[in-house]
Amino acid sequence: MPRALVTGGAGFIGRHVVHELLADGWQVTVLDDLSMGRAEHVPPAATLVIGDVRDPQQVAEAAQGADVILHLAAVVSVRASVQHFYRDAEVNLMGTLNVLRAAVKQGAERVIFASSMAVYADSPAPVPIDETYTTAPFSPYGIAKLAGEQYTLLLGRQLGFDGVVLRYFNTYGPGQTFTPYVGVITIFVHRLLAGQPPVIFGDGEQKRDFVHVRDVARATKLALQAPPGEVFNVGTGRATSVNQIARMLIERLAPHVQPEYAPPQPGELRYSIADINKARRLLGYEPAYRLEESLDEVIASCRAQVSRANAERASAG
């Protein structure tokens, strides 16, 4: 039975990746500090190691016997990385180097590195960009992710493991942990459920590629068979503006509410849409979920999160 280590495997994307691997017969170890993930999200068939990628000893122990390491653990926030740039680099860059060192020491055959659309320069128009598009990050988060990509590919060539990079675009879906910084759909839903209007930074005409978490997890599994040394966009190729997201959610949850507008945030791209032709060609990847058809599922998940949080507060009080 092949063995995989999934860092961040209790988190939003990681838990879905773990399910994909288990379904294919992998033996899975999860390394997660549970700062964003939850222990109950890790299936009983996987082994959970509570630890931090910033600790090289914990990473090395979790990686023992792993044939493949899927490195998803990260502090995922463009906005927060500007204010907390040192912590961003500690986790997203130094944590990655700890994972790569463990991969070499343990003789892992492959490392799949979860990167981000944040490595790209802004696009002048809302059109899909491919993997050769200019990489010029606007944020510390993007800088750390780009460095992690380059380390993964370079050390893979020089030290004998297969490095593969996946650039995730705006991932959404049920089960995303609510924070003020990450996941505009989840943030808007939580505000609307609380009777508050969504807050849009800038004019709202910035366009993104929103890709369902299950599509992202499937692409990550497909990367187990990808040619080594390759970089892949993981998105849908479809552009949706933040204003459109707000309108769709307001129609479902609070038809008489108007969004509020605030100044643009530093580090955020205007246009970011994935050209996924390479992933189609080399991975056999095809997104299965459409945004308009998936929002009700996200809303139901957010309602459940609010109810659970209220129940936990009531029991604690």
Four-point Cα dihedral 245, 247, 251, 254, nearest 10:
100
Are the CB atoms for 131 and 120 separated by under 8 Å?
no
Q: Which residues contact 171 (CB under 8 A, 6 or more apart)?
A: 12, 13, 183, 210, 211, 212, 213, 216
225 CB-contact burial (10 Å; exposed 0-12 / middle 13-18 / buried 19+) = exposed
86 is annotated as an active-site residue = no
Of 141, 168, 172, 285, which one is the catalytic site residue?
Answer: 141
Tokens 């060192």 label which residue? 101
Neighbour count for residue 40 (Cβ, 10 Å): 9
44 CB-contact burial (10 Å; exposed 0-12 / middle 13-18 / buried 19+) = exposed
Catalytic residue annotation: 141
